[in-house]
């Protein structure tokens, strides 16, 4: 199992969030990275609705937020992944892998403890 720590950063370099992700493969694509990150965020959100930080890529829609106050609501992981992938394609955020910007979703990179990954937010990313 290969683990990397990804960071969410502002354009000025301020770290907003850190997430550890585990992958079975030694090489993954940017698309797999984004999908795994979204899946983990949704799991964290659903486990800790009241304490979840909305600093990540997943931001439930207003309706989901209102409903979750009354009872837990399942978030559509597939839809959140699609929204995040679309935001990446439209430059809503970019990803730095070992200080080089990832350009394509199918770009592969090595996953190990020395891999440095940052998600840099330019605008609010996902959700309503």
Give the pLDDT score at 125.
46
Quick check: 31 pLDDT over 70? Answer: yes
Is residue 106 within 8 Å of residue 29, measured between CB atoms?
yes
What CATH architecture is 2-121?
Roll (3.10)
10-15, Cβ contacts within 8 angstroms, sequence gap of 24 or more: 10/120, 10/121, 11/120, 11/121, 11/122
1 compared with 35, residue with greater pLDDT: 35
Q: How confident is the model over 53-98, as pLDDT tens digits?
A: 455 565 555 545 555 555 556 778 899 999 999 999 998 899 999 9
Q: Where are the domains of the chain?
A: 2-121
Say how far apart CA 95 and CA 124 lie, in whole Å: 15
pTM confidence score? 0.78
Give the pLDDT score at 16.
87
Quick check: 127 pLDDT over 60? Answer: no
């Amino acid at each position: 199992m290969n683990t990397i720590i990804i960071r969410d950063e502002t354009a000025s370099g301020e770290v907003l969030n850190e997430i550890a992700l585990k992958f079975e493969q030694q090489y993954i694509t940017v698309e797999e990275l984004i999908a795994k990150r979204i899946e983990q965020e949704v799991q964290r959100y659903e486990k800790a609705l009241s304490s979840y930080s909305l600093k990540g890529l997943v931001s439930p829609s207003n309706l989901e937020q209102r409903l979750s106050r009354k009872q837990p609501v399942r978030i559509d992981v597939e839809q959140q992944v699609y929204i995040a992938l679309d935001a990446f394609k439209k430059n809503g955020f970019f990803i730095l892998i070992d200080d080089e910007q990832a350009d394509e979703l199918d770009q592969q990179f090595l996953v190990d403890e020395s891999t440095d990954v940052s998600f840099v937010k330019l605008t609010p990313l996902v959700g309503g």
